[in-house]
Amino acid sequence: MKPKNLLLLAAGATAAHGTASASAGATKSKPNILFILVDDLGWGDLSCQYAADLRTPNIDAIFETGVRCDNFYANSNVSSPSRAALMTGRFPAMVGVPGVIRTQPRQSWGYLSPSAVTMPQMLKRAGYQTALVGKWHLGLESPNLPNERGFDHFQGFLGDMMDDYNTHRREGHNYMFLNDREIDPEGHATDLFATWGAEYITRQAANDAPFFLYLAFNAPHTPLQPPAEWLERVTERDPSLPEKRAKLVALIEHMDYNVGRVMEALRKSGQFENTLVVFASDNGGDRGAMANNGPARGAKGDMFEGGLRVPCAVRLPGVCEGGRRNDDFIMLMDFLPTFCDMLNIPVGHPIDGISVLASLKGEEQDTADRYIFWLRNEGGPNFCGKTQSAARYRNHKFLQNMPFEQAQLFDLVSDPLEASPLELKGPAYRDLHRALTDHYRKWGAVPCQPPVQTDKR
């Protein structure tokens, strides 16, 4: 099927919404929550952001009718730690995930703490049905499988990345599951995840309980494998694009179309007006894929802004709407306490995020009065198991982009491109240095590898 008119799905769906029939979903006392997390989407790689060479009308519609978070950050420059922060409301190292969880134990740098309390577990206390469709990346085996960490329903991919979007394998392993059953579906992973997400939404319309659907696409992560017809559409439109950039644009536009399919399922099932929709990326775009990270230095894997600052929008009719732009400092880990605040769910365990509900509502809130830490463990000769790190308080940011490089201090207000390091002295440096040292000390008490199995014979 040639996707000549598929990018117009959002506009058509909006028109159809006026005649959509009401359903049980519209009478739910609490809003449904649809959290769309995409993989390696750069801060600039939407047509409503900084990209002039791609078209993303369905995602743009969320930004243009909701609250666009212009000062939004992931909790890591790579995948697993950011997902751990989103799921727990904590700095990722504090729940045992300072790095990427992988198939090979020698290259795996995280293990989700058994004591960590997850977002779906919290939402279930308020009567929510919980589902994950798509990429998990927080554990490949028990006790860290999605159904064991709070999700009633799981249909998706356990691993880090797919070696092929159509065969869904990673290093020869099939990580596609329906709950605890291995499956081997046919089709492009982005299409599959959208179909499964839309089907879940449609089923839940007849359920009096609200739902939380965590829809985690693995696009536009490499490999750059858009369906052939989508790549053809992009190259016909702009033959001057480099091949790699054209493939990334096509992969993003294909993902945008599938976001539109999911939003259409909300409309057709009568649940659109009673669903909180969040769209965000897990980290910055990949420079090797020619991603657009907007007016920021660096990319995925960097502690510079391009690796950490990502697109985000929040939409809930009557609360977070109207195309407002929000410049308050907000992070992925803030959503758990925000949802709990919105739903009056008590939080009785340690968290690091804060509720930003007031800010999202357009009320005055100081969200920047806190120390923020980014850490990443990694292997290979550039890391040797060490960390890259950054700490921030308000406009000052102290970072060591690679473990063997010189640390640097920046003032992000006067130097948003992080081009002119300040001298490593003065009150801002001393405070950030002490705060980061304290964070390392606390993190050192948290295991980031599976428990050692002892021989009980």
Residues with Cβ within 8 Å of residue 214, at least 6 apart in sequence: 35, 37, 119, 120, 130, 131, 132, 133, 134, 151
For residue 22, pLDDT over 70 is answered with: no
Per-residue confidence band for 317, with pLDDT thresholds at 50, 70 and 90: confident
Per-residue confidence band for 320, with pLDDT thresholds at 50, 70 and 90: confident
For residue 454, pLDDT over 60 is answered with: no
The pLDDT value given to residue 128: 98
What pLDDT, in 10s, does the model give residues 341-356?
Answer: 999 999 999 999 999 9
Closest listed residue to residue 110, CA positions, set 76, 63, 60, 74: 76
For residue 266, pLDDT over 90 is answered with: yes
What pLDDT, in 10s, does the model give residues 414-445?
Answer: 999 999 999 999 999 999 999 999 999 999 99
Given a contact cutoff of 8 angstroms between Cβ atoms, the answer to whether 89 and 351 are in contact is yes
Instruction: Summarize the confidence of residues 202-210 as an average pLDDT.
Output: 96
Q: How far apart are the first and last CA of the chain?
A: 61
For residue 79, pLDDT over 70 is answered with: yes
CA distance 147 to 53: 40
Share of residues in the chain with pLDDT > 70 (%): 93
What pLDDT, in 10s, does the model give residues 270-309?
Answer: 999 999 999 999 999 999 999 999 999 999 999 999 999 9
For residue 19, pLDDT over 60 is answered with: no
The pLDDT value given to residue 188: 98
CA distance 367 to 374: 17
The pLDDT value given to residue 26: 52
| DSSP three-state, residue 67 | strand
For residue 446, pLDDT over 90 is answered with: yes
Residues with Cβ within 8 Å of residue 424, at least 6 apart in sequence: 407, 408, 409
- DSSP result, 163-174: S-TTT-EETTEE
Tell me whether strands 312-315 and 32-38 are parallel, antiparallel or unpaired. Answer: unpaired
Instruction: Summarize the confidence of residues 32-56 as an average pLDDT.
Output: 98
For residue 3, pLDDT over 70 is answered with: no
Given a contact cutoff of 8 angstroms between Cβ atoms, the answer to whether 373 and 439 are in contact is yes
| DSSP three-state, residue 62 | helix
CA distance 334 to 86: 8
Cα angle 316, 126, 142; round to 5: 105
CATH topology of domain 6-368: Alkaline Phosphatase, subunit A (3.40.720)
Greater model confidence, 11 or 214: 214
Greater model confidence, 276 or 1: 276
What pLDDT, in 10s, does the model give residues 220-249?
Answer: 999 999 999 999 999 999 999 999 999 999
The pLDDT value given to residue 27: 67
What pLDDT, in 10s, does the model give residues 86-119?
Answer: 999 999 999 999 999 999 999 999 999 999 999 9
CA distance 205 to 335: 24
* Structure tokens that stand for 323 in this block: 């195309």
Mean pLDDT score across all residues of the chain: 93
* Structure tokens that stand for 288 in this block: 């090797």
